[in-house]
Structure 1
Amino acid sequence: MTNANWTLSLMLMAATLPVMAGDYRFTGTATTKEGDKLYEERHSVDGTCEDGVFRPQGHQVAYHKPDGDDSFARKELEYDASVLRPIVNFSQPTFNETMKIDYPEAETLVINWDKPDGESEQFDVEYPSNTVVDAGFDNFVRQNWKSVVAGESVEFRFLGPTRGEHYGFVLEPAENERVEADHVVQIRPTGMVLRFLVDPIVLGYSDTGALSDYLGLTNIRKNQDENHTAHIRYSVDTYPDCELTP
């Protein structure tokens, strides 16, 4: 191979390799229905640019009370194996609660949950390939961006970690007077029984594919027995060096 051909081959190979994308940082402010501020989420996501699209790798979330310097809860997610099913480490020391979701073998996940009442539970869950875990829903929306823009529905499975099971859900267009965004969708259960027990989560997205609104049940506790339902409004601090959507 000539030097020119060798150089061209290296250039072509380099063009196909992922490159660091810089951090994607955004902040969410959670409020009650009455508009009272509950807490703030501070997100930092590192990743790579693959074919011009951001691919997250690590995601850190710190939860702060209004005007609080120290976080009262933290979450770490790792997307090495799948952007839809991250490894999850969540801790909420105020309630002595921790949860870890890991994947010891193919098509099986394990949930270890230290509950606020002092008890612990472990679930071994087999799952199909269309299962979404925790904040993987955000990447699921962007993976299906063409369907979102076209107003189409997409079915998937969503993990209920405190129940140790995944359930049928659908991502679909929605309207909500509290959410003003370029694109408004919701994720809701498809099963008849669960539809009566679980309210849809309404999501707002900008044209860039950035999450702007989350309206629904959160993972932050209101008390020993229930979590906050909140409207979280997000603002982007820094975008990655490539597009969020394909």
Structure 2
Amino acid sequence: MCATIMVAGLLATAPLQAASAPEAALEPRVGHAFALDSGRPVYREVHDPEVVDGELVADRVEYVDPEGKIFARKRVSFEEAPLAPSFRLEDTRTGYIEALQRTDDGRIELIYRKREDEAMERTVIDPPSDVVADAGFDLLIYRNLDRLRAGETLRFPFAAASQQQTVAFRLRRIDEREVLGEPAIVIRMEPDNMFIRWLANPIDVAYHAETGALLRYEGLSNIANPDSDENYRVRIDFPPEGVEPQPPASD
């Protein structure tokens, strides 16, 4: 999608009660997260999707530490708005909470708390018609993979609970190469503002070139290191069956 075409057009044609997703997202899957700086495993994210009539309605995610203990949970609901789903993430180690919920008058409330001893931050906003949130950016890429592969750029406001506002982002293809033994298209998500881009690290995601399945995520995690309070920078691999995840140090 070029800059002159609004993402709102995609929202207008999208099903409101379910999310069109690749077949891989309709099955339970596991993401293996490694710290980008050290290559060590830091957690696994275990996805248990809820599927109705072949469409993704919700996703329940458990975050598991290297010792096998569940330390955080998230539920994402795509029923009201697939590209800006309601969600709630809670980390029991620190009391971290990040959420988006809808109000009765059609607005959205962004909820954030970094630690349990801090006050909960809440902001209610009138969302732009093309707003994207949380796992909705994954669906946005999947639905527009052909456009991105052709070199078009998608621009959209992202509802960031930690920032208590929407932030302008863009998506663009940066590479086509093999990832986890599969042909992949690599998409970069980064701030649309040039000056902010100089300060912020991008997020790179790799999708299977034929099926649209997510293969790899590289960038800032939604999970914080409990020892530093800073969110991990991670590589998360979603390997096909029979393929081992690849920690960064092995490249």
TM-score (norm 1): 0.78
Following superposition, the deviation at residue 23 of structure 1 comes to 4.4
CA contact (8 A) 1:26 1:235 kept: no
Q: Deviations over 1:136-155 (max 9, x none)?
A: 11111112122133232111
Residue of structure 1 aligned with 2:199, choices 197, 200, 218: 197
| Structure 1 partner of 2:51 | 47
Listed as ranges, the gaps of 5+ residues in structure 1 are 1-17, 238-246
2:93 aligned with 1:91: no
Q: 1:176–1:209: structure 2 CA closer, same or farther, 3 Å change rule?
A: closer
| Structure 2 partner of 1:168 | 168
Residue of structure 1 aligned with 2:232, choices 228, 235, 238: 228
Whole-Å separation in 2 of the counterparts to 1:159 and 1:73: 21
Following superposition, the deviation at residue 105 of structure 1 comes to 4.3
CA contact (8 A) 1:31 1:232 kept: yes
- What's the % identity of the aligned pairs? 27
Q: Deviations over 1:174-231 (max 9, x none)?
A: 1499966511111111113321332110000012111101000001111353100000
Asked which structure has the greater CA Rg, the reply is 1
Whole-Å separation in 2 of the counterparts to 1:186 and 1:178: 16
Q: 1:148–1:82: structure 2 CA closer, same or farther, 3 Å change rule?
A: same
Say which is worse superposed, 158-167 or 107-116, in terms of deviation.
107-116
Whole-Å separation in 2 of the counterparts to 1:177 and 1:208: 15
Whole-Å separation in 2 of the counterparts to 1:160 and 1:28: 22
Whole-Å separation in 1 of the counterparts to 2:202 and 2:156: 14
Following superposition, the deviation at residue 121 of structure 1 comes to 0.9
CA contact (8 A) 2:110 2:160 kept: no
Q: 1:142–1:178: structure 2 CA closer, same or farther, 3 Å change rule?
A: closer
Whole-Å separation in 2 of the counterparts to 1:118 and 1:160: 18
Q: Which amino acid aligns with 1:86?
A: P
Listed as ranges, the gaps of 5+ residues in structure 2 are 1-17, 242-251
Say which is worse superposed, 111-120 or 24-33, in terms of deviation.
111-120
TM-score (norm 2): 0.77
